[in-house]
Amino acid sequence: MKTLYLTRPAPNPRKAILLLAAKGIDIDDIDDLNVVDIDLSKKEHYTEEFNAINPMNTVPTMTLSDGTALNDSQAICEYLDRVYGERSVMGNDVVQRAKVCAMRRIAEFEVLYNFMLAFQHSSPSKAERIDQVPEFAEKSIERAIKALPYFESALEGHEYLVNDQLSFADIVLYIGLDFGRIVKFKPTEHGDNLARFYKAMDAKFGEEGIKSTIKKAKAENNSDD
Ligand SMILES: N[C@@H](CCC(=O)N[C@@H](CS)C(=O)NCC(=O)O)C(=O)O
């Protein structure tokens, strides 16, 4: 049995949930995968048991049946993408894969990561873990916003970032924009294309739409058989 430890609303674990949803898979419905919810506010990621699996004390974390521990969201998503479902959301050929990788990294390091830094340096809930520099929060939000014109132009005339096909790059950009709301960023006020993208992704992967997205993707996969 494999085990995936996650905190559902947190951005890095959310990558795994949405990646599987895009492939028509409900994370709670995988026969050989046990999902364990970790409550960060109760410091469940600092228990002795969790620390032994991931000394970095972060989620998501995954253990495989041979005891291998994966303690990074990208590694876990690569694993899940290859092991479950048909179409890869990381890209189906070498060029598409490289393009998805480039877009995903920019979305992650320029958008999501900067909003995470802004949150970590401003939220009282992170004061114990982070040596907070409050001024850094505003600078991090500014840096995330500075990257947005790049995505605004990539989305001109396109529904998705790469090859007009939903990919992991879209998922990470959406999670980044959505997480920004926690530091009062408004995802629909930074360009028409980004606003359209955010609304469409939110309808698919927000709390209300995700179940029907899974159903639809599952039906599409079955009709390809
Ligand atoms: N590089 C790691 C970072 C994971 C990470 O920072 N996760 C956050 C939740 S999104 C976490 O576990 N935070 C623990 C804490 O804030 O105490 C990954 O992508 O998996």
Tell me the mean pLDDT in the region 43-62.
97
Q: How far from chain centre, in Å, is Cα 28? A: 17
Pocket test of ligand 1: the residue of 5, 12, 114 to mutate, having most ligand atoms within 8 Å of its CB, is 12
The CA 12 to ligand 1 mean position distance, Å, reads 6
Q: Give the CATH fold of the 94-211 domain.
A: Glutathione S-transferase Yfyf (Class Pi); Chain A, domain 2 (1.20.1050)
Burial status of residue 128 (CB atoms within 10 A of its CB: 0-12, 13-18, 19 or more): exposed
Tell me the mean pLDDT in the region 39-62.
96
Q: Is 58 in the pocket of ligand 1 (CB under 6 A)?
A: yes
Report which protein residue has its CA nearest ligand 1's atom 13: 58
Pick the closest to residue 154 from 173, 168, 141, 140 (CA basis): 173
Q: Give the CATH fold of the 2-83 domain.
A: Glutaredoxin (3.40.30)
Q: b/e string for 192-216 if b means 16 or more Cβ within 10 A?
A: ebbbebbeebbebbeeebbeebbee
What is residue 40's predicted lDDT score, i.e. its pLDDT? 94
Domain boundaries, the chain: 2-83, 94-211
Band (86; pLDDT cuts 50, 70, 90):
confident
What angle do the packed helices 192-205 and 134-154 form, to 10 degrees?
Answer: 100
> Is it the case that residue 44 has pLDDT exceeding 90?
yes
* pLDDT tens-digit map of 164-207: 999 999 999 999 999 999 999 999 999 999 999 999 999 999 99
Q: Are 22 and 213 in contact (CB under 8 A)?
A: yes
Run of H or E including 70: strand 69-70
> Is it the case that residue 222 has pLDDT exceeding 90?
no
